[in-house]
Structure 1
Amino acid sequence: MNSVQAETIKQHSTALFYAPNLPVELLSQYQRVIVEADNVKPEELTALHQGGASVLAYLSIGEIAPSRKWYKSVKPAWILGKNRVWDSEIMDLTNPEWRHFIIEELVAPLAKQGYDGLFLDTLDSFQLIATTDEARNQQAEALTQTLNEIRTQYPQLKLVANRGFEVMPHIAPLLDAVLAESLYAAWDNAHQRFHPSKAADTEWLLQKLQALQKEFKLEIIVLDYLPPEERDAAEKLAKRIEKHGFVPWISVASLDIVGVGMKPTAPKTFLLAYDSVQESQIPPLPYAAVEAALSKHGYKLHRHDIQTGLPIQALTGRYAGILSFLPFETQSKAYQNWLLQQHRAGMLFQALLPSASLPDSTSGKRK
């Protein structure tokens, strides 16, 4: 199926962001935003809705990680085995108590909080444990029953599945869209590296996704991975994915940056790093002049006092750049490492004084 044939399937620009402190202004420009609900404040969810975005919460159906706050509520009888790659438990979907827990303890609170849908992950993890056709069929039927119950109790919720090709014949009629990772660009979690997808893997996945479009008329979302500093490459990759009639999102594995999607967003805010303690001992700096100069070009200024701590989240895609008057050499190692790390990740840095410039590690000069 080519992009012309796929046009009959309504597409929604989509962003995925799992970190806390959501860049609401940027994310709300997308029609669909997939988040990790544990990291979303109520006011952020409200703001996304006010911006016009439909917000879906991540929900793992077939696996749970020990980091989940409700992990201790899980009974041993609900567990099939272990996924050692991700250090998570693979769940027994045929266990009625586990299915009840999913709907009453996980889905119900999300619906009550006002989420518009669910991003369903690990749907076919049982394949790692179930070794017979009978066992696999039992798990697939239980999965279908679970999704049917969610649809019945919460018909307003949109359901997006992460892959799940093995169970797709059972669940496709219940879904609004399917997401697949690593069509062209992948992340190797075992070796912690980005790499191009193998040509054979790309062709196999492309055929699978096109078949879903054709047979089930499902919207397809593709999540590919590139280093944050490769922004131009990400934009080209997003357009390549769009040509297949798929909705693209290019990000990093932690999904904590504003990636590149169907509707590229250029951040219009600069972060200005300052130190309230140091600056109390010197004449006032011309912040108003900086803010006025940015405003003339349609930009905003967000001041961040490093005395409150350095931003722990990646800033790529969130800010147009970082500004600072702070003399680099006299700052703490924490500040120096943070600024260099952000710069290596592709963040523009503008020193507002010569002494604030970054050192050139190759020549000893400042830049």
Structure 2
Amino acid sequence: MRYTSLFSCIRDSLRVLFGLAMTYSFGVAPAWAQQPLRNIAFYYGAAPDVKSLQQFQFAVLEPDSGFVPAAARDKKTQWIAYISVGEVASSRSYYSAIPKSWVIGHNAEWHSEVIDQSAPGWPKFFVDNVVAPLWKKGYRGFFLDTLDSYQLVVKSDEQREQARKGLVAVIRAIHRRFPTAVLILNRGFELLPAVHNDIYAVAFESLFKGWSEANGKYIDVPSDARVWLLAQVNNVTTKYKLPVIAIDYCPPEDLQCSRDTVRRIGELNLIPYVGDGRLQTLSPIILE
């Protein structure tokens, strides 16, 4: 058992070194190899204020905002594109190209369609039609959202397992095609045993302060929900050694709420971002 563990450590170390050597040989160093995650912004509004966003190390943007990272002069900020894996809105350019048989449900709260993650052609479609065009625009990372949307539709354990395998296939397909891309999962805790080596960080929403889209209001997160989340976080940080980002929500005019929430999240050694409910304004509160 002892020798097996030693062999595994050596093997994994060689894999990492080989991956870095291959990356550097092409003159491109992945962000995670250069510096640890210090702070991050999430902004999904139109016409991003690039100058304000450049105060952050990482900036997650709505890619339909019109911003083209390749045109940005500042190279210190890592531009990350928001992409929805589990759902698609009719406003997306690739919506009409998705086979109707891949649509298995509807999310009434966000007015989007739930995609069958087990569809054999879905990983390639997603990389070719969603990720690759954004990479061409200059995005060098992707925030993968709606990873649990299949739960709205599937009924059996077998269906859940097939959906999870499909999501793993999508993440691995992105990583194979763009090995230097920064991949950040929104939750997806159940996927980590399979994909932790392919991703940079894990994010989750609503640790202390949340947003109810259905009711259009800010909410305090119940303590029992926080206990469950922190148990997941502990697994991510101790078992997989990945950075964890906590996204909370406060009214944009209530800076005291933002400051207090950023402080509370930071005290747990997590990377905080506190924005408005729909992330349409940029928070001035930065964790240095």
TM-score of the superposed pair, with normalisation by structure 1:
0.66
- Alpha carbons 1:163, 1:179 under 8 Å: kept: yes
Match of 2:51 in 1: 25
Q: For the residues of structure 1 that align with 2:248 and 2:48, how far apart are their CA atoms?
A: 21
Match of 1:185 in 2: 209
Q: Does 1:15 align with 2:15?
A: no
Match of 1:241 in 2: 265
- Alpha carbons 2:122, 2:170 under 8 Å: kept: no
Alignment-mate amino acid for residue 168 of structure 1? L
Q: For the residues of structure 1 that align with 2:153 and 2:47, how far apart are their CA atoms?
A: 37
- Alpha carbons 2:104, 2:113 under 8 Å: kept: yes
Q: Which runs of 5+ in 2 are unaligned?
A: 1-34
CA offsets 1:121-156 (integer angstroms, 9 cap, x no match): 111211222222211111111211221111111111
Q: For the residues of structure 2 that align with 1:85 and 1:225, how far apart are their CA atoms?
A: 18
Q: Does 1:90 align with 2:114?
A: yes
- Alpha carbons 2:87, 2:146 under 8 Å: kept: yes
- Alpha carbons 1:140, 1:170 under 8 Å: kept: no
**Distance apart, 1:51 and its partner CA:** 5.0
**What secondary structure is seen at the aligned counterpart in 2 of 1:207?**
helix
Cα RMSD (Å):
1.7
Q: Does 1:143 align with 2:143?
A: no
Q: For the residues of structure 2 that align with 1:81 and 1:51, how far apart are their CA atoms?
A: 40
Bigger mean CA offset, 228-237 vs 254-263: 254-263
Match of 2:3 in 1: none
Bigger mean CA offset, 191-200 vs 164-173: 164-173
User: Which runs of structure 1 show a deviation greater than 3 angstroms over 4 or more consecutive aligned residues?
Assistant: 260-264
Q: For the residues of structure 2 that align with 1:145 and 1:166, how far apart are their CA atoms?
A: 14
**Distance apart, 1:210 and its partner CA:** 1.8
**Distance apart, 1:39 and its partner CA:** 0.3
**Distance apart, 1:23 and its partner CA:** 1.2
- Which of 78, 88, 91 is equivalent to 1:67? 91
**What secondary structure is seen at the aligned counterpart in 2 of 1:213?**
helix
Equivalent pairs counted in the alignment come to 254
Rg: which structure is higher? 1
- Which of 79, 99, 105 is equivalent to 2:103? 79
Aligned counterparts, 1:325-344, within 5 A = none
Q: Which runs of 5+ in 1 are unaligned?
A: 1-8, 265-367
**Distance apart, 1:45 and its partner CA:** 5.2
**What secondary structure is seen at the aligned counterpart in 1 of 2:197?**
helix
Q: Looking at both structures, which has the greater relative contact order when contacts are Cα pairs under 8 Å and sequence separation is at least 6? A: 2
- Which of 39, 63, 69 is equivalent to 1:37? 63
**Distance apart, 1:214 and its partner CA:** 0.7
Match of 1:203 in 2: 227
